[in-house]
A and B are shown apart, each in its own frame.
Chain A
Amino acid sequence: MKLTLKIWRQSGPNDKGRMETYPIDGIEEDMSFLEMIDVLNLQLVREGKDPIAFDHDCREGICGMCSMFINGEAHGPGRGITTCQLHMRRFKDGDTIFIEPWRSGSFPVIKDLVVDRGAFDRIQAAGGFVSVNTNGNLVDGNALPIAKDHADTAFDAATCIGCGACVATCPNGSAMLFVAAKVSQLSLLPQGRPEAKQRALAMVEQMDKEGFGNCSNTGACEVECPKEISLEHIARMNREYMAAAMTKE
């Protein structure tokens, strides 16, 4: 395959950045999208040019590191997959592909396609946990049966990989889906119930502090989320949050 790549280049946070064009040849259908970028980078290094900076690690859709906005979609075409799981068989010879970083005021660009998602860690630190210390004398794991449907719904929420596609794709730059996934997972489980309200308040407060936008229920996040986290979780979080806000006043 022969392709034309239009890629966002930005040398650092203070550079304005611009799209640059790279023709590329010899791309095979079996390659993953990131392997296609590897081919380009190899070529750039050989020419003594600066290769494209991009985040990636596991290359199997679970670490949440990869993060490209491809042809106007977070993680590109295809549902339920990350950038690293995208394969070139989805494209055809002669295509032009636009590749940009996540764009959100709360995710500043570090270089090219690499952004800073530290805000997610700070939201997690604000309340995304069950307050239990390491303890060798806990009750047996089976002392607390959990209904399978609750366990399964909690699991669905827990599969969030923290990639930030929901933020990148949201017209308001909201992080609601990410935050809701954690709040919802823990509030569905008996271990997380005691702190459910406080958790929702603390995480939402931190989210606001980080400058993420408000949720206006456009639902774009659910569509682009590689783990297909459902909007239901946002509804569940809103209930926790409202209940908490009321008892607080």
Chain B
Amino acid sequence: MTQLDSKVPDGPLEQKWTKHKNSIRVVNPANKRRIDVIVVGTGLAGASAAASLAELGYNVKTFCFQDSPRRAHSIAAQGGINAAKNYQNDNDSTYRLFYDTIKGGDYRAREGNVYRLAEVSANIIDQCVAQGVPFARDYGGLLDNRSFGGVLVSRTFYARGQTGQQLLLGAYSALMRQVGTGKVQQFSRHEMLDVVIVDGKARGIIARDLITGRIERHGAHAVLLCTGGYGNVFFLSTNAMGSNVTAAWKAHKRGAFMANPCYTQIHPTCIPVSGDHQSKLTLMSESLRNDGRIWVPKKKEDAEAVRAGTKKGVDIPEEDRDYYLERRYPSFGNLVPRDVASRAAKERCDAGFGVNKTGEAVYLDFSSAIERYGRTEASVRKIEDPSTEEIIRLGRDVVSAKYGNLFDMYANIAGENPYERPMKIYPAVHYTMGGLWVDYNLQTTVPGLYALGEANFSDHGANRLGASALMQGLADGYFVIPYTIGDHLAADIRTGPIDTERQEFSDAERAVRERIDKLIEVQGSTPVDVFHKRLGKVMWDKCGMARNAEGLQQAIQEIRQIREEFWKDVRVTGTANAFNQELEKAGRVADFLELGELMCKDALERQESCGGHFREEYQTEDGEALRNDTDFTYAAAWEWTGDPGGSNLHKEDLDYQFVKPTQRSYK
């Protein structure tokens, strides 16, 4: 069995990263010019890495499947990015951010990595400000903060409801600057379809030009996968339509271990499903939980009346509302972490208190906030005895300034005015904590192959805190990989350009072509999307918010069945040598059909509940997740052996030296 070496240096937490940087190798500037690096993905992780590496002098090639690097899924992040700046003087610190992240992740993340993340977080904000990212500011011209779930301080930086957009455009502008200097060659509308391994090291990729269908070989001394998460295995998720696992899965099949694939984050505040036609789900930023209160009717008959359309939420009097998060978790209230909030919503809806047609929705209500803000505003403006209407008007203005674009988005999709009626929300798949296993250097189990951002498993344990993905993506790209990659590349200063005529490249290219042909040749009768939806339903029902052994075993059988039918009956129209979106989807769904099985296997193996992974068999009396630290304080790293059901499990023991794992409590 391979020993998994995390390479986290010894010593006190706060000295690990400095010590590590001092001990790893550095490539001198003249030699950097002789080294080529491939970066697949141009989201926050990829764009920041590619720009930084090019600035250092490496020759970089970047790839993305969209028509521009600026369109990566990171663009859609709304709420914000965390950093331990302590600007609010509320006792925040690097340690507190570290601690919150470890606790939020339910004690299933690596201490050393998480501390480093907290340590570089403050630099990220400075870097983005220098690039011209227009963060929200207060009237004094200083940076503003808001708070997010699972923490007691206010450390989230934001740019209205479009933080991801603004951060990505910052990283994209840095990337395009390097494209302008010729240090980066950018390949848009290109999809990576395999990693090429030469003498045990990642030495390039095979990519398909999505416009012409041409299969290309690209060589490099190192390959970085910054290809995002795989939430779309559920078909319905808040991820962009194109988000997929293909790059990571191909790497997995070439020897990179896949870690904790079952850790999925289900986000509590999304717009509920409206019908079978639904193609994706829309997130309502978690920041709404700062001011919005979540409730369902106390009485079943009220819930039934709401579902039947004979009663409206606003008609239910205060005393008949169950603010269940405030009731169950008095100290964190509506700001409990995501996994806790999602499960609580499911619990209420399963018990029959859901509030839309499908019975799968709860209210997110701003009326108290509107009133509170209205009163404050009235007193700021010295209005004596303001009328209720006046208070509401003033309050709505404040709420609109803070969340206007989210409210508009809701109104547009749901067709209801959220200023007048409480919004309806329900949990949806949002983020995948699992991903490629990486060590402290962000290197996978394949030398020279790295994984950054959501594509790796590194920092969030079994549950990610809000506003921490953007932080991690940029930390990996701006402040970790530029250092750690040197340690590997220092051995390559005399290697010279990678020869893509080698056998390994032609073999990989042939395999890619054969698979594409195979997909097209099935010529069955069922469109790709139909299989994807079927898979998604199995995953959601049996490997979603709550899981149990029996369901997971069934799910594995069902997924195998769908996979078999897929390869017998899928219909991919068009040809391989042309722009062909059905073919793109087919390749991605084929990979999801294998990943899904591994996720279920991982969930089955983990006989405990932790973070986003809730096994019904393992819960406390009052329905909270019950961890088993004695047997499961490890990261599960799966090795591909030829079929998804037969993967080998390797365990990386998580050694808690600085924080003592306790029962997570938000009460």
Chain A interface (Cβ < 8 Å from any Cβ of B): 12, 28-32, 34-35, 38-39, 41-42, 44-46, 48-51, 53, 55-65, 80-81, 85, 87, 89, 110-111, 114, 116-118, 120-121, 124-136, 138-142, 144-148, 151, 154-155, 158-159, 161-162, 185-186, 189, 191-192
Contact = CB atoms under 8 A, between A and B. Distances in A.
A145 B581 CA distance: 47
A235 to B, nearest CB: 20
B179 A134 contact: no
B656 interface: no
Contact of B581 (A29, A51, A63, A117): A51
B234 to A, nearest CB: 15
A144 B66 contact: no
Given A48-B571, A62-B76, A128-B173, A53 B581 contact: yes
Nearest to B478: A134
A175 to B, nearest CB: 14
Interface string B164-179: 1110010011101101
Interface in B123-142: 123, 125-132, 134-142
A81 B412 contact: yes
B52 interface: yes
Nearest to B172: A124
B40 interface: no
B63 to A, nearest CB: 14
A63 B71 contact: yes
B574 interface: yes
B51 interface: yes
A134 B180 CA distance: 17
Contacts of B137: 145-146, 148, 151
11 contacts: A41-B527, A51-B581, A58-B241, A63-B76, A111-B578, A121-B188, A133-B55, A142-B85, A147-B141, A155-B160, A189-B132
Interface of B: 48, 51-52, 55, 66-71, 73, 75-76, 85, 87, 120, 123, 125-132, 134-143, 159-160, 162, 164-166, 169, 172-174, 176-177, 179-180, 186, 188, 211, 240-242, 274-275, 277-280, 282, 408-409, 412-413, 415, 478-479, 482, 525, 527-530, 571, 573-574, 578-579, 581-582
Contacts of A55: 67
B275 A162 contact: no
B275 A30 contact: yes
A134 B141 contact: no
A249 B65 CA distance: 43
B523 to A, nearest CB: 9
Contacts of A81: 412
Nearest to A159: B162
Contact of A121 (B55, B176, B274): B176
Contact of B177 (A32, A60, A117, A129): A129
Contacts of A121: 68-70, 176, 179, 186, 188
Contact of A155 (B51, B134, B211, B241): B134
Contact of B127 (A50, A85, A127, A135): A135
Contact of B71 (A65, A141, A147): A65
A111 B528 CA distance: 20
B412 A140 contact: no
Given A28-B277, A121-B179, A128-B173, 15 more contacts: A30-B415, A31-B275, A44-B573, A62-B75, A62-B164, A63-B76, A63-B240, A64-B68, A87-B415, A110-B211, A121-B70, A128-B176, A132-B127, A139-B126, A185-B134
A32 B579 CA distance: 24
A45 B530 CA distance: 11
Given A30-B275, A59-B241, A65-B71, A189 B52 contact: no
B67 A118 contact: yes
Contacts of B126: 138-141
A49 B282 CA distance: 31
A159 B162 CA distance: 8
A198 to B, nearest CB: 13
A28 B70 CA distance: 32
Of listed B131, B179, B479, residue having the most chain A CB within 10 A = B131
A125 B176 contact: yes
Given A148-B137, A159-B165, A63 B279 contact: no
A201 to B, nearest CB: 14
Contacts of A28: 275, 277
A50 B67 contact: no
A70 B211 CA distance: 24
